[in-house]
Amino acid sequence: MAEKEKIDKKEHLLNVAERVFGELGYDGASTRLLAQEAGMNMAMLNYYFGSKDGLLKAVVERRMASTRKSFEEIALQDISSWDKITQVVQLYVSKVATSKYFHKIIFREISVLRPGGTSEVTDFVLENLYANTMHVQQILEEGIKKGEFRPVDVEMTIASIFGTVNYLINSRRLASKILNMDLLDDQVLQEEMKPRLLAYLHDSLKTHLLK
């Protein structure tokens, strides 16, 4: 099999797996169903990713690595800490608002308590999430050190940013009532909620961080 064909098949399987895991959850998505939805046999799925755990890890890593790289690039720019944090927030909101299946996967993995404690997959998700938040922490601490930001509670600020975004995306039915807009409609999510959320976070962080 040509290398390009192998890459294309892997990408196709990752796209299908993200949707199926997002719709049905890890436990509801059998390897047989995943292979069937991707138009492959189970042997091919195992050949590429080893197992269902391996497939879910690959789905998570693909998205997380992209976000982490973008956060790193923003953190290294020669611009003010305020510009960095606003870029990070805009990027994160945009990614969350355009990848609804992926963030359902993440929310489930960090929320579900399985018998015997966390699974290897859950630990993997948590480690990746934590690595991404570290770049935000770096920016906030840099801003405080330079005197751009007030000496705020950095950890609570991070929780506030990510918590607000994730709550609205992962609790859409309740958020729809609170915000009086249909967040189950992707067009409403993109054209109405996203700019409203960005404006809120911008104003909140400006009041919270700047002297």
Query: In the structure encoding, which two tokens stand for residue 78, read together?
Result: 């020669």
Q: Kindly give, in sequence order, each residue whose CB lies less than 8 Å from that of residue 99, ignoring residues fewer than 6 positions away.
A: 18, 63
Sign for the CA dihedral angle at 67, 5, 10, 3 comes to negative
**In the chain, what percentage of residues exceed pLDDT 70?**
93
pTM of the shown model: 0.82
Which homologous superfamily does the CATH classification assign to the domain defined by 56-209? Tetracycline Repressor, domain 2 (1.10.357.10)
Q: 3-state DSSP helix/strand/coil percent for the chain, to nearest 5?
A: 80, 0, 20
Which residues pair with residue 149 across a beta bridge? Answer: 210
Q: How many CB atoms lie within 10 A of CB 24?
A: 14
Inter-residue contact 140 to 149 (CB < 8 Å) = yes
SS3 149: strand
At residue 115 the predicted structure's pLDDT band, cuts being 50, 70 and 90, is low
pLDDT digits (tens, 9 = 90+) for 183-196: 888 889 889 999 99
